[in-house]
A and B are shown apart, each in its own frame.
Chain A
């Protein structure tokens, strides 16, 4: 079973994403801030990370930078309420940049795409 980490400081988002992904048949771990997210990445073999950008302790960009430093092959999807950073960070190091939306089809399609590779 593929293991996915959902890192977001918003509890409702963590809940929504993990419910939805579990329904899709993935194992889901969650983290409420950047530091916790890095912790989990270090201790668990993961297949994919869904990362919020604005989080306390450590921003998603920094988490992304550290993940890519140690584990460049682990796919990371940025999921942010900010749409305008898409062109700044979307092509930088993450695999995808998804603006948060109640319609989760794009997110699920992206997860599926990156787990197939």
Chain B
């Protein structure tokens, strides 16, 4: 209040002073215009004549002074009240504005217009700076904002926020046309930190005259700033919460979809079904809802990426839940030209062949916003498939790209957001797992098939061996007595005369024995050893197959296997028989190492004087064979009391010699035994068997 009084006194004094110094005043009386609290002013009475004021007059003047003080006080109070009411109504209006809405844009608009109106400014500007980026986070304007004003404000605010100093309070600047503009700014603090600024400009009087902002305006704006910043803060928090909630909701929906997809993918190991589920997931309305999707797989042999299937978006069947809709088989509609084309897509894996090739080669996702303008895009493909915005995602397993998923929204033109690309990547991870599973499964299935085939063959050869053993036993048991019966019958028939009645009887015996011997030969031929089926085979593979058969036994006996295989030319052999050779050698080694050990298998080519051989050395760590037994190990009769190792080795030996090969044995007492099997390579063997045939004829 006191500054107002001083101010009004200041304006009075110069006007009085001129007259006060006039020398022709004879009388000067001074009276205080005051009440009990304040001195409002001084009343001077002057007269050219000399006068004496009597008591009554003085009293009257004092009374008048008192009344004058009362009037002044009233006027001042009225003024004061008016201003306070204006201020309060300004604050009230700002209060109304700040609490009207939580929606940020509407809130800012109301705050700025109200602030300008309350302060009689033509416009207002608001900036809030993002501390992390230093860029305006919120920018709002009301009224006609000159470029100068906006620049001034922003640069001033940025400096202030960075330095932590207060921004300007009030200033006057000319615009580019030379017109003066006044500005009044107030800092906006959030949680005690300066982050923004509100500025009003161009104060106008009621008669639309240019005015400068006064202290009262500043006071009011400062008071309002607190309310404004807290309401903006609330609105910002609210907006963040809202976007967060929205994002959460979207994520929950997407995760649910992904979960359904992964559930569907887990129901099958069949590649065809998996691909259908993937395509459904990408294009179903209730799935990821892309307009088009195509799955391409890498063919490593031919270095190409080949489309497996491509489809268009279909509306979800209304009655089917997603997980069932996903399983509906996808059929490429042949009537749709582009769908047919999609499914025939094939791309050579070179960088310059476009985005899909790059996706494989660079193992990363590409999001192409405008295919036509992108130099990396294969323009031929773009035209053929009408590509605009699209995403190409690699299917990566164990750091290998096995395929690519491509999606776009060709018809709906729905924009693909970064978030969508992220989801696609998540989806691709699931899809590739399912694809890989399916591949592994089919490998296992193939292996199983092969294994059971091998088992079958083993059983077959076991059966043959058993039959052969039985036949051998029979041969021995029957052939001996038959030989002597028939032999003696022949002797008798030679000795009895031609007309002897005995002769016929003896001949019956001879003939019957002959019949039995013939039968024996047939049985032996059938069960015999010459059922071989010779072809060219890789010895390493045969050894691997034999190992597979005995692997479990070896593990159970705590025997480690060390392999050192060289590349070998093919051998001409009956693979089943040679497999039997190694199986027997492995069994033998296993029996020699009943307390565990290492089975070492080494293959290598070997040149002998008569040609080239494939050699395989099978070593055990079973301590070797006692010398007194060594010379008998290949003898089939050595251990005939039991079907033990002896027979196995003798069978092996026989098979190998039948293949024009050799088994050598290196016995290291205290260490182990090495059997070296050498088999002639295919070419040589063919020549040899022809020679052999020629020799026989």
Q: Which of A74-117 contact B (CB under 8 A)?
A: 81-85, 87-88, 99-104
CA distance in complex: A15, B480 (Å): 12
Q: Which of B479, B632, B654 contacts A100 (CB 8 A)?
A: B479
Give the residue name and chain of the A residue nearest to B636 (CB): A85
Contact with A along B517-538 (1 / 0, CB 8 A): 1000100100011000000000
Query: Quick one: CB contact mask for B487-500 with A, threshold 8 Å, 1 for yes?
Result: 11111000000000
When C-beta atoms are compared, the residue in chain B nearest to A92 turns out to be B657
List chain B residues, Cβ under 8 A from A102. Answer: 482-487, 489-490, 510, 513-514, 517
A12 on the B face (CB < 8 A): yes
Q: Please, how many angstroms separate the alpha-carbon atoms of A10 and B491 in the complex?
A: 18
Task: Name the residue among B475, B483, B632, B654 with the largest chain A CB count within 10 angstroms.
Answer: B483
Q: Cα distance A102–B478 when bound, in Å?
A: 12
Q: Report Cα–Cα, A103/B485, bound state, in Å.
A: 11
Distance (Å) between the CB of A35 and the closest chain B CB? 15
> Does residue A4 face the partner (Cβ distance < 8 Å to B)?
no
Is A68 in contact with chain B by the CB < 8 A criterion?
Answer: no
Contacts of B430 in A (CB 8 A): none
Task: Produce 1/0 per residue, A24-66, CB < 8 A to B.
Answer: 0000000000000000000000000000011000010110010
Q: Across the interface, do A81 and B490 meet the contact criterion of CB distance under 8 Å?
A: no
Decide: B484 and A54 in contact? CB cutoff 8 A: no
Given contacts A16-B488, A84-B468, A102-B517, contact A53 B524 (CB under 8 A): no
Q: Does B637 make an interface contact (CB < 8 A)?
A: yes
Using C-beta atoms within 8 Å of the partner chain, give the interface range for chain B.
35 or more
Question: Is B570 engaged at the interface, CB distance under 8 Å to the other chain?
Answer: no
Please provide the chain B residues from 171 to 202 with a CB less than 8 Å away from any CB of chain A in the complex. none
In the complex, what distance in Å separates the CA atom of A65 from the CA atom of B630? 14
Do A54 and B637 touch (CB < 8 A)? Answer: yes
B contact face: mostly helix, strand, loop, or mixed: helix
B484: chain A residues at CB < 8 Å are: 10, 12-13, 15-16, 102
State which of B483, B485, B524, B653 has its C-beta within 8 Å of the C-beta of A84. B524
Contact (Cβ within 8 A) B635 A16: no
CB neighbours of B321 from chain A (8 A): none
B475 with A81: CB separation less than 8 A: yes
Residues 341-352 of B, flagged 1 when their CB comes within 8 A of A and 0 if not, give: 000000000000
Q: Complex Cα distance A15/B486, Å? A: 13
The answer to whether B479 and A61 have CB atoms under 8 Å apart is: no
Interface status of B437 (Cβ within 8 A of chain A):
no
Nearest chain A residue, comparing its CB with the CB of B658: A87
**Which residue in chain A gives the minimum CB-CB distance to B468?**
A84
Beta-carbon contact of A83 and B483 below 8 Å: no
Does residue B388 face the partner (Cβ distance < 8 Å to A)? no
Q: Are A83 and B524 in contact (CB under 8 A)?
A: yes
Q: How far is the CA of A65 from the CA of B528 in the complex (A)?
A: 26
| Distance between A37 CB and nearest chain B CB, rounded to angstroms | 15
B636 nearest CB across to chain A (Å): 8
Are A103 and B472 in touch, CB under 8 angstroms?
A: no
With contacts A88-B657, A102-B482, A102-B485 taken as known, whether A19 is within 8 angstroms of B476 at the C-beta atoms is no
Assuming A61-B637, A102-B513, is B490 touching A10 (CB within 8 A)?
A: no
The answer to whether B524 and A54 touch across the interface, beta carbons within 8 angstroms, is: no
Tell yes or no: B481 within 8 A of A by CB: yes
Query: Which chain B residues lie closer than 8 Å to A100 at the CB level?
Result: 479-480, 483
CA distance A103 to B475 in the complex (A): 16
Find the A residue at minimum CB distance from B527: A84
Indicate which residue in A19, A54, A84, A104 contacts B528 across the interface (CB closer than 8 Å): A84
Q: Which residue of A lies closest to B494 (CB)?
A: A23
**Could you tell me if A59 and B524 are in contact, using CB atoms closer than 8 angstroms?**
no
Give Cα distance in the complex from A54 to B641, angstroms: 12
A15 to B491, CA, bound (A): 12
Known interface pairs A83-B524, A84-B528; A54-B483 also in contact (CB < 8 Å): no
Q: List B contacts of A12 (CB < 8 A).
A: 480-481, 483-484, 488
Interface pair B490/A104, CB less than 8 Å apart: yes
- Complex Cα distance, B520 from A101, in Å, reads 11
User: Which chain A residues lie closer than 8 Å to B481 at the CB level?
Assistant: 10, 12
Question: When chains A and B are docked, how far (Å) is the Cα of A38 from the Cα of B529?
Answer: 31
B480 touches A10 (CB 8 A): yes
- A13 shortest CB reach to chain B, Å: 6
Q: Which residues of B105-154 have CB atoms within 8 Å of chain A's CB atoms?
A: none
Q: In the bound complex, do residue B521 and residue A83 qualify as a contact, i.e. CB atoms below 8 Å apart?
A: yes
* B654, A88: Cβ atoms closer than 8 Å: yes
| A104→B635 contact, CB < 8 A | no
Per the 8 Å Cβ criterion, residues 637-663 of B in contact with A are 637-638, 640, 653-654, 657-658
In the complex, A57 Cα to B631 Cα: how many Å?
A: 16
Shortest CB-to-CB span from A23 to chain B, Å, is 8
Task: Specify which of A13, A53, A84 is in contact with B529 (CB 8 Å cutoff).
Answer: A84
Q: How far is the CB of B383 from chain A (nearest CB, A)?
A: 73
- Which residue in B479, B490, B640 is a CB contact (below 8 Å) of A103? B490
Q: How far is the CB of A11 from chain B (nearest CB, A)?
A: 9
A100 to chain B, nearest CB (A): 4
Of the candidates B480, B529, B658, the one having the most CB atoms from chain A within 10 angstroms of its own CB is B480
Give Cα A107–Cα B112 distance, bound, in whole angstroms.
130
Most buried by A among B479, B485, B638: B479
The minimal Cβ–Cβ distance linking B301 to chain A, given in whole angstroms, is: 45
Residues of B within 8 Å of A87, CB to CB, are 657-658
Using Cβ atoms and an 8 Å threshold, which residues of chain A touch B490? 102-104
* Shortest Cβ gap from A80 to chain B (Å): 8
Residue of A nearest to B479 (CB): A81
What are some 28 contacts across the A-B interface (CB < 8 A)?
A: A10-B481, A10-B484, A12-B480, A12-B483, A12-B484, A12-B488, A16-B484, A19-B491, A20-B491, A54-B640, A59-B635, A59-B637, A61-B637, A81-B476, A81-B478, A81-B483, A82-B472, A83-B524, A83-B528, A84-B472, A84-B529, A87-B657, A88-B653, A102-B484, A102-B517, A103-B490, A103-B514, A104-B490
**9 nearest A-B pairs in the assembled complex, by CB-CB distance:** A102-B486, A12-B484, A81-B479, A16-B487, A100-B483, A59-B637, A81-B476, A10-B480, A16-B484
Given A10-B480, A83-B524, A104-B487, 8 further pairs, Cβ under 8 A: A10-B484, A12-B481, A13-B484, A62-B635, A82-B476, A83-B528, A84-B528, A101-B483
